[in-house]
Structure 1
Amino acid sequence: MFAVAAALVGCSDDTGSEPAAANAESESTVVAGDAEVRTGGNTVVKVDGNDLPGLDLNSVTCVKQGGKINVGSAAIGGQQGLGIVMTDEATPKVESLGMVVDGSALAVSEAMGMKVGSAEVSVDGDTYTITGEASGADLNNPMAGQITKPFTVTVSCS
């Protein structure tokens, strides 16, 4: 379980950078090749009803490329932040989600018959809202057992 969460959270090379605190109001768009990268916007990241600690929402990025939507954040305090990979279709599906919350590596994934956590995606124009429960382990005490926390991520991506 811990290896899956850590692996997902560590996959930031393909997801760009995305931090979250409360609500980022400024937005910018950069076109790189055939990918469009959007940062900021009306990004919200909540875990267990609270803002994800230390996440700078203005550095949140969303990239649509190759049939995927990648949302990512910059590192927080030397640790990984947030990374999400979704399918880019009419009804997107979360393929993986990873985040570090209060020293716990949490994930949503489904691979090789093993399912960790759950996530649903709703789309309103170019705004994606991902809700669900992420599961994982406390990095400081991996023997403490599985931890599950509800989350909501709202991000703009065109």
Structure 2
Amino acid sequence: MRSNRIAAVTTAAAAALALLVTGCSDNNTTTPASPISTTGNSTAQVDGKTIDARFDTTCAEQAGTLALALTDLDNTTYGNLSVSATIQGGDTVQAVAIAGTKGGDSGTPYALGYGAGAPGGTAKLTKNGTTYTVTGEGIGGVDLTNPLAGPKNIPFEITFACTTVVKG
């Protein structure tokens, strides 16, 4: 069961990384011909609290899979922060990952994930033009000071404000 949760987080993180490697992320110095999105009103809330971040937003679609990513590579609380979602067939959330190099329990990296078909968690998508909102519950990391408590479900709401969706 734990390997399914790790696979879900890994899948979503890999989608975000793939977007970044392709050079489609916005650094607010774009030219009109650049196929990227602006920071706009992209936001992430976890457990009812808005994450304080300056997100770069990346949105790309290829072969029926939509990959959405928010990044803040110098976040005060979470270090290198990545928030991502993978959507299949236009409306099915396959994976969600929120990960930071710091900010987790007991000094560990921060991690929250959802994977379709894996036990625990939920996710649904709503769309308004090119703004995508993913809501649900993800599986949070284990508190190392109390590992017997196991992982916990944590609610999230992520808004990906895409001015452009790159088609591949």
Asked if Structure 1 and Structure 2 have the same fold, meaning a TM-score greater than 0.5 normalized by the shorter chain, the answer is yes
Cross-structure match for 1:38: 37
Gap runs ≥5 in structure 1 = 19-25
Change (3 A) 1:30 1:10: farther
1:13 to partner: Cα distance = 2.0
Change (3 A) 1:78 1:45: closer
Q: Partner of 1:127 in structure 2?
A: 131
Given that residues 107 and 134 in structure 1 are in contact (C-alpha distance below 8 angstroms), is that contact kept between their aligned partners in structure 2?
yes
2:107 aligns to what? Answer: none
TM-score (norm 2): 0.67
Q: How does 1:69-148 map to 2 (within 5 A)?
A: 69-74=66-71, 75=73, 76=75, 77-89=78-90, 92-100=91-99, 102-103=103-104, 104-111=110-117, 114-138=118-142, 140=144, 143=147, 144-148=149-153
Structure 1 or 2: larger helix share? 2
Please tell me the residue identity of whatever aligns with 2:112: L
Unaligned runs of 5+ in 2: 105-109
Q: Aligned-pair distance for 1:78?
A: 4.8
Higher-Rg member (1/2): 2
Secondary structure at 2:41 match in 1:
coil
Alpha-carbon offset, residue 9 of structure 1 = 5.5
1:62 aligns with 2:64: no
Q: Quick one: distance in 1 between partners of 2:66 and 2:130? A: 12
Change in 2 beyond 3 A, CA 1:146/1:126: same
Q: How many residues align?
A: 142
Distance in 2 between residues matched to 1:129 and 1:135, nearest whole Å: 18
Distance 1:71 1:83 in 2: 5
State the identity %: 23
- Distance in 1 (CA, whole Å) between partners of 2:151 and 2:29 is 36
> Scaled by the length of structure 1, what TM-score is found?
0.70
- AA partner of residue 121 (structure 1): L
Query: Are 2:66 and 2:86, in contact at CA under 8 Å, matched by a contact in 1?
Result: yes
